[in-house]
Amino acid sequence: MQLNIFRKKPTAPDTITTLESKLSGLKYLLRDELAVGCLYTPSDSMHYSLVQYVLAPIVVDGDLKHRFVVGITQSRPAEFEVIHDSGYGYVLFKRKDSK
């Protein structure tokens, strides 16, 4: 009888790996940006921190004056249009008056 005690059990992806996968499209679309805003509610503050981590080196802050804003909410400010919906609750908005 042979025991394989060194065999690793498959593990589920961690939160960061999962979010990196979900936001890969956003990161690609924002690849030329230095900074973007983030629209979130206080209950989404953990997700905000994770978005900052995953999108680095792009600076993500709470300022909505940027050309692009990542929304962790489905509400859309009137001055923005949706340009990408990840399908996971993360939406990329673009300011309507920007080129």
pLDDT of 86 reads: 85
36-69 per-position pLDDT tens digit: 999 998 888 888 999 999 999 999 999 999 999 9
Q: How many separate domains does the chain show? A: 1
Q: Domain range for residue 67?
A: 15-95
Least confident of 8-22, 43-57, 72-86: 8-22
In-domain check, residue 1:
no
Q: DSSP secondary-structure letter at 48? A: H
- Looking at residues 65-86, what average pLDDT do you find? 89
Q: Where are any strands of DSSP class E within the chain?
A: 35-39, 59-61, 68-71, 80-85, 91-95
The Cα–Cα gap between 9 and 98 comes to 50
Alpha helix (H) residue ranges in the chain: 15-22, 24-29, 45-55
